[in-house]
């Protein structure tokens, strides 16, 4: 029998509508419990992404693959849906139409995605790994002497930001502005002004690369058949879609390795399996937890549910990966999870994400003896997002390490600098940035 999922907008938790909220603290505290309850509905469940924003969440692995592999029945363009959404809805931040590959189908998608895959293919993996080690070590030098650090705010995030701005050949001044504009966009104070400022900075970067081409992704994108707006959007998708989830992957993997119930009972057992931790996180806590979204043009019956036309059908990578019909014992060494999605819109850079993630985790484990979670900071808290799964902070302790006195001509390490402001989340103080890289220094509030 086919059930009907209403497309109206019920109040959160209203039993008459029986929609489960994917926003708010209850979901963030226990997403696995929420997915287990949603499975009572079958492979597709009625959820609410933000107050007054209903959606159908695909929680079954096989049904998820069916949707992901059928772009004709399940296209990506959200415009008919978004016309009916209040303009200030927080769901629009992620779901609003933008002229980039994520919202395109068919030949348009192939053109926009082709520009990306062509330039990603040319990224030198060996050089990228060496860069990751170098920048990671510079950041670690900044806090190695203190014995305490928020591994998200002072390691995973700045590491990814710096590596990505390097990949884009973005000079320090523009990097700082990009970071400030992006932060303003996420802070949501004046999203339109933040959007305008971000666009202006991206345009400057594009024009700079036209005048002074380099060995970077923006220069390579200039060779593709893209308008300036498409170029800016593509840079944004690559930066935002690459750096944030990879930072979350690093923090989620470190958390699993360091927590008592994590892999191998934390590091105290002496068992450190970085690849296993990364794979386990991609199965169980994928950074993009409920992401790929489709808008069928007409009502369509799927897995016993009638999905309404022009309403979002969201794939839950996290729920599909933990579908009880999949045997968890078969996960090790198995990469058929949906953390990078599947079908025509699957992530074009899973190998880069793994390389960056595993290298970053390895550096911390190699460099910081006695690393463990900072129990004094209380239990970790997760961001309240329906779309992504990431920590608010990852406070850790370790045995302080003396960093060798830096060579005055070395490019990265400089003498100790002033203390940095407390981490906005943990209130942690004492982390020092000794990097000469202006972006690292900006990140540390100096
Ligand atoms: C752990 C890190 C990462 C995860 C979990 C991840 C996951 C994903 C997922 C689930 C999608 C599908 C999104 C959708 O259907 O709407 C996607 C798409 C995409 N990802 Fe990643 N990604 C990661 C890292 C990266 C990196 C490092 C890059 C680039 C350097 C990148 C570039 C992209 C792009 C351009 C798309 C859009 C593809 C399309 O629409 O055709 N991602 N990613």
Binding site membership of 242 for ligand 1 (Cβ less than 6 Å): yes
Q: Which domains does the chain have, with CATH numbers?
A: 3-169+214-443 (1.10.630.10)
Q: Which numbered atom of ligand 1 lies nearest the CA of 248?
A: 1
Long-range contacts formed by 91-96: CB under 8 A, 24+ apart: 91/49, 91/50, 91/53, 91/386, 93/188, 93/191, 94/387, 95/49, 95/293, 95/312
Q: Which numbered atom of ligand 1 lies nearest the CA of 102?
A: 40
Would you say residue 215 has pLDDT above 70?
yes
The answer to whether 403 and 141 have CB atoms below 8 angstroms apart is yes
Binding site membership of 339 for ligand 1 (Cβ less than 6 Å): yes
Mean pLDDT is lowest, of 249-253, 338-342, 401-405, for 401-405
pLDDT at 181: 81
pLDDT at 172: 87
Q: Which numbered atom of ligand 1 lies nearest the CA of 100?
A: 40
Average pLDDT over every residue of 29-34:
96
Closest protein CA for atom 27 of ligand 1 = 242
pLDDT at 9: 47
pLDDT digits 0-9 by tens, 186-209: 665 666 777 789 899 999 999 999
Binding site membership of 132 for ligand 1 (Cβ less than 6 Å): no
pLDDT at 158: 94
From 122, 124, 237, 241, mutation site for ligand 1 pocket: most ligand atoms within 8 A of C-beta: 241
What DSSP designation does 147 have?
S
pLDDT at 268: 45
From 216, 287, 349, mutation site for ligand 1 pocket: most ligand atoms within 8 A of C-beta: 349
The answer to whether 414 and 439 have CB atoms below 8 angstroms apart is no
pLDDT at 109: 98
Q: What tokens does 263 get?
A: 């892999």
Would you say residue 159 has pLDDT above 90?
yes
DSSP 12-73: TT-TTTTPEESSSHHHHH-HHHHHHHHGGG-SEEEEEEETTEEEEEE--HHHHHHHHT-TTT
Average pLDDT over every residue of 48-65:
97
Q: Which numbered atom of ligand 1 lies nearest the CA of 167?
A: 30
Average pLDDT over every residue of 177-185:
78
Would you say residue 127 has pLDDT above 70?
yes
Signed CA dihedral, 162, 233, 349, 290: sign only: positive
Q: How far apart are CA 151 and CA 258, in angstroms?
A: 12
């Amino acid at each position: 029998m086919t059930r009907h999922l209403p497309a109206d907008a019920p109040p959160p938790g209203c039993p008459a509508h029986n929609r489960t909220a994917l926003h708010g603290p209850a979901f963030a505290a226990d997403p696995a419990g929420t997915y287990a309850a949603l499975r009572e509905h079958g492979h597709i469940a009625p959820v609410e992404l933000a107050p007054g924003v209903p959606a159908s969440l695909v929680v079954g692995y096989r049904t998820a693959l069916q949707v992901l592999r059928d772009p004709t029945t399940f296209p990506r363009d959200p415009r008919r849906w978004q016309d009916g959404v209040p303009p200030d809805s927080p769901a629009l931040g992620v779901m609003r139409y933008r002229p980039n590959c994520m919202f395109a189908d068919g030949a348009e998608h192939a053109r926009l995605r082709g520009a990306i895959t062509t330039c990603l293919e040319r990224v030198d993996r060996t050089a990228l790994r060496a860069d990751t080690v170098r920048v990671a070590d510079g950041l670690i030098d900044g806090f190695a002497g203190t014995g305490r650090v928020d591994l998200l705010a002072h390691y995973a995030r700045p590491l990814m930001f710096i590596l990505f701005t390097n990949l884009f050949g973005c000079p320090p001044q523009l990097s700082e502005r990009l970071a400030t504009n992006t932060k303003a966009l996420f802070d949501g104070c004046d999203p339109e002004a933040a959007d305008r400022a971000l666009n202006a900075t991206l345009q400057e970067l594009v024009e700079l690369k036209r005048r002074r081409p380099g060995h970077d992704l923006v220069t390579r994108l200039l060779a593709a058949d893209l308008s300036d707006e498409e170029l800016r959007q593509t840079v944004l998708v690559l930066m935002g879609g690459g750096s944030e989830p990879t930072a979350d992957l690093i923090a989620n993997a470190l958390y699993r390795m360091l927590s008592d119930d994590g892999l191998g009972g934390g590091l105290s057992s002496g068992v450190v399996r970085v690849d296993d931790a990364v794979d386990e996180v991609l199965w169980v806590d994928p950074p993009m937890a409920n992401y790929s979204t489709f808008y069928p043009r007409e009502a369509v019956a799927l897995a016993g549910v009638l999905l309404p036309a022009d309403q979002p059908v969201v794939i839950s990578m996290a729920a599909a990966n933990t579908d009880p019909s999949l045997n968890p014992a078969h996960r090790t060494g198995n990469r058929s999870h949906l953390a990078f999605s599947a079908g025509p819109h699957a992530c074009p850079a899973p190998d880069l994400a793994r390389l960056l993630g595993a290298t970053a985790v390895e550096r911390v484990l190699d460099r910081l003896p006695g690393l463990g979670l900072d129990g004094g900071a209380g239990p970790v808290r997760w961001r309240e997002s329906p779309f992504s799964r990431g920590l608010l902070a990852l406070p850790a302790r370790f045995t302080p390490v003396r960093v060798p006195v830096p060579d005055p001509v070395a490019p990265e390490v400089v003498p100790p600098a002033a203390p940095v402001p407390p981490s906005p989340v943990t209130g942690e103080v004492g982390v020092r940035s000794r990097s000469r890289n202006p972006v690292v220094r900006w990140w540390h509030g100096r």
